[in-house]
């Protein structure tokens, strides 16, 4: 057994787990032995132009993990609500006794012709979900991690846009850059409890978010392609599993001395741009 297999006895909370990367993370961590608590808004948000996950999607993640032999509990919860995030943490503790891992993965995307043309409510919603939502998830879960007394691992899903530029989606980039600062601060503050905090920074991932955006905003996606915002390696989109493999490493004992880092899974995107 490598240190990568060793999530037996660990409990992982995953936000935005009804589909896409969150679902893939749930299946991957369950496959490595972790018990999973998954949550998702599973409902539309007015300012988001593509369809978010549904309660059927959330149920499908739960069933897929069970069919694969994993243990999982789930609930609808909005990362913008501290009460919802506390309810998710409570579910994890009541169901499985503890929390060892948090994947703050929930997120939305949006494009405008340019950043100064972003509507006020679209800007605010982006910051509320993608930045404040990750903080609220951490705030709800960390007390149980500390109480558990065995340390922990938090992985915040940022983006290459958290480390580079994001033309036409400056609110997304601002939120993701904010996550880098949140990660640094939490890594510093939680080190005494042996709670590690890192970000993953994916390039484009073949998820329902990407598919939804290209359907509702084809003109912006065309502009994006025209500007050659492509990867250095010869791959247009990564698969969710590519990100899950990095997350699995970060939460495992193989990364027990890794904290405060940004981990681009970007096919060389940041080197190119
Ligand atoms: N797809 C990409 O190209 C890409 C690239 C880099 C980073 N990311 C980031 O990866 C993460 C996962 O995205 P994905 O690609 O799997 O997209 P996705 O849309 O398939 O999954 C995101 C999930 O978050 C949920 N969600 C949205 N708002 C929520 C809220 N307020 N509360 C709870 N859940 C909420 C959605 O319902 C959805 O199930 C996001 O943070 C995203 O910003 C995506």
* Ligand 1 atom nearest to CA at 78: 32
The three-point CA angle 122-127-133 to 5° equals 125
What local confidence, expressed as pLDDT, does residue 261 receive?
A: 98
Q: How crowded is the C-beta side of 151, counted as CA atoms within 13 Å?
A: 15
Domain made up of 3-254: CATH architecture: 3-Layer(aba) Sandwich (3.40)
- Residue 263 CA, ligand 1 centroid: distance in Å: 18
Chunked mean pLDDT (size 10), the chain, 273 residues: 74 98 98 98 95 98 98 98 98 98 97 90 98 99 98 98 90 97 98 98 95 76 64 95 98 97 97 90
Q: Say what the pLDDT of residue 218 is.
A: 67
Ligand 1 atom having least distance to the Cα of 237: 3
Distance (angstroms) between ligand 1 centre and the Cα of 69 equals: 25
From 50, 172, 193, 269, the catalytic residue = 172
Q: Which residues pair with 157 in a beta bridge?
A: 200
Is the CB of residue 244 less than 8 Å from the CB of residue 31? no
- 193 catalytically annotated: no
- Residue 56, exposed/middle/buried by CB under 10 A (0-12, 13-18, 19+)? exposed
Q: Check the CA dihedral 50-56-58-62 and report its sign.
A: negative
Confidence at residue 210, expressed as pLDDT on a 0 to 100 scale: 87
> What is the per-residue pLDDT for 1?
43
Instruction: Give the chain's end-to-end CA distance (angstroms, integer).
Output: 39
Report the side by side order of strands in the sheet with 152-157: 72-76, 35-40, 11-15, 101-104, 152-157, 195-202, 262-265
Distances (CA, A) of 58 to 14, 76, 155, 183, 223: 12, 8, 21, 27, 33
CA distances (Å), origin 245, targets 70, 208, 255: 18, 19, 13
In this prediction, residue 168 carries a pLDDT of 82
Give the position, in ligand 1's atom list, of the atom nearest the Cα of 204: 3
Task: Choose which residue among 18, 21, 42, 58 to substitute to test ligand 1 binding: the one with the highest number of ligand atoms within 8 A of its C-beta.
Answer: 21
Q: 186 with 139: CB under 8 angstroms?
A: no
The answer to whether the Cα torsion of 8, 13, 19, 25 is positive or negative is negative
What does the block give as tokens for 127? 């910051």
């Amino acid at each position: 057994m490598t240190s990568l297999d060793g999530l037996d006895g660990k409990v992982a909370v995953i936000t935005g787990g009804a589909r896409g990367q969150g679902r893939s993370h749930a299946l991957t961590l369950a496959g490595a032995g972790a018990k999973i608590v998954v949550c998702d808004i599973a409902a539309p948000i007015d300012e988001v132009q593509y369809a978010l996950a549904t309660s059927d999607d959330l149920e499908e993640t739960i069933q897929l993990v069970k069919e694969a032999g994993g243990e999982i509990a789930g609930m609808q919860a909005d990362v913008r609500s501290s009460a919802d995030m506390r309810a998710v943490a409570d579910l994890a503790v009541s169901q499985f006794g503890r929390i060892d891992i948090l994947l703050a993965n929930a997120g939305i995307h949006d494009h405008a012709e340019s950043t100064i043309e972003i509507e006020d409510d679209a800007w605010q919603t982006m910051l509320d979900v993608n930045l404040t939502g990750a903080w609220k998830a951490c705030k709800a879960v960390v007390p149980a991690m500390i109480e558990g007394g065995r340390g922990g691992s938090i992985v915040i899903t940022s983006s290459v846009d958290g480390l580079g530029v994001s033309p036409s989606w400056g609110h997304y980039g601002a939120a993701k850059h904010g996550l880098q600062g949140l990660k640094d601060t939490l890594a510093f503050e939680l080190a005494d409890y042996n709670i590690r905090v890192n970000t993953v920074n994916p390039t484009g991932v073949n998820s329902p978010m990407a598919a939804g955006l290209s359907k509702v905003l084809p003109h912006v996606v065309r502009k994006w392609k025209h500007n050659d915002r492509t990867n250095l390696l010869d791959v247009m989109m990564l698969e969710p599993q590519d990100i899950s493999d990095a997350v699995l490493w970060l939460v495992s004992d193989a990364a027990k001395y890794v904290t405060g880092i940004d981990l681009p899974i970007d096919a060389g995107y940041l080197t190119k741009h």
